[in-house]
Amino acid sequence: PAYEFAMILDADLRKRKLRDRVPMTYVTAEPYIGHMGLGGVGDSKGLLESELRQRHIKWITNARVTAVEAGKVKVDEVDGKGTVSQSHELPFSYSMLLPAFTGVDAVRGIEGLTNPRGFILIDEHQRNPTFRNIFSAGVCVAIPPVEATPVPTGAPKTGFMIESMVTAIAHNLRDELAGREGKARATWNAVCLADMGDTGAAFVALPQIPPRNVTWARVGKWVHLAKIAFEKYYLRKMRTGNTDPIYEKYVMKALGIERLKSEGKPH
């Protein structure tokens, strides 16, 4: 979302012929541009760095925000060992900050249910190991970082990944109610269309957490158009209540993108 926001803002300012009056800096905890909490996807580093350069958006990686004051934000940039290598004081007229996520107060601190950040612990079947009547999906799920980084960078939970979690839970709940052991496992595949206002970036990571079977990334105006088309298509699915139409299922399967892991196959 942060990449999208920065580039959509850039595109809007250029459209209004105001871009030359607005310097922009992208500040991120990621060790490099295009990491996205995933260790990168294909050539996401090169693709997104190129987009930022073309848009004259500066960046600071391995960054920790230390203070936000009226009209300025203070940022420490660290090296590979986590030692502060440079401090920045960035003036701003408009800024957007995404704080580190935590779980909600209602469950945070319950031993066996959540990790120290308050996210729900689950096994491979989306079930909490301690409280067996609790299944969990989505942003509230505890997922370890894909790798250690100088500034902690959490793994994102993308839309199709969450759909696969919910599908696994639905299958497992059905089996539990029928007196059978739930064995469905979500694939956690990631399919992402990132809109940048006048262009976009498409990422496919199967599965989202490396090592992966498929890693693919592309940038182009077609992604922007595809994102608009997908939004209209997705809203129509929600209105009609047909969340998994047969034609979508077969198209995704043909591309090797499935919601559930096949039993008996190594993953």
Residues 161 and 70 grouped into a single domain: no
The confidence score (pLDDT) of residue 267 equals 41
The confidence score (pLDDT) of residue 221 equals 94
Residues 63 and 149 grouped into a single domain: no
The confidence score (pLDDT) of residue 134 equals 97
The answer to the question of residue 105 being in a domain is no
Residues 142 and 249 grouped into a single domain: yes
- Whichever domain contains 86, its CATH number is 3.50.50.60
The confidence score (pLDDT) of residue 251 equals 84
The confidence score (pLDDT) of residue 93 equals 95
Mean pLDDT of all residues in 177-192: 93
Q: What is the mean pLDDT of the chain?
A: 92
Residues 50 and 147 grouped into a single domain: no
pLDDT above 80: residue 90: yes
The confidence score (pLDDT) of residue 266 equals 42
The answer to the question of residue 132 being in a domain is no
The answer to the question of residue 162 being in a domain is yes
Mean pLDDT of all residues in 157-164: 91
The answer to the question of residue 266 being in a domain is no
Which of 91, 112, 130 represents a domain boundary (last residue)?
A: 91
Of 56-60, 110-114, 168-172, 203-207, give the lowest mean pLDDT range.
203-207
The answer to the question of residue 241 being in a domain is yes
Percent of residues, the chain, with pLDDT higher than 70: 98
pLDDT above 60: residue 116: yes
pLDDT above 70: residue 265: no
Residues 73 and 7 grouped into a single domain: yes
The confidence score (pLDDT) of residue 31 equals 97
Q: Do 8 and 197 contact (CB within 8 A), yes or no?
A: yes
Residues 200 and 145 grouped into a single domain: yes
The answer to the question of residue 69 being in a domain is yes
Mean pLDDT of all residues in 147-171: 93
The confidence score (pLDDT) of residue 226 equals 93
Sole residue written with tokens 């945070």 = 108
Partners of 135 in the β-ladder: 127
The answer to the question of residue 121 being in a domain is no
pLDDT above 90: residue 210: no
Tell me the pLDDT tens digit for each residue of 223-259. Answer: 999 999 999 999 998 899 887 888 888 888 888 888 9
Determine the Cα–Cα distance for residues 86 and 93; give it in Å rounded to an integer: 23
The answer to the question of residue 118 being in a domain is no
Residue 74: which domain range?
2-91
Which of 91, 117, 147 represents a domain boundary (last residue)?
A: 91
Q: Which residues contact 96 (CB under 8 A, 6 or more apart)?
A: 2, 5
Number of domains in the chain: 2
Which of 91, 121, 147 represents a domain boundary (last residue)?
A: 91
| pTM (2 d.p.) | 0.86
The confidence score (pLDDT) of residue 208 equals 85
Residues 143 and 250 grouped into a single domain: yes
Binned at pLDDT 50, 70 and 90, residue 263 comes out as low
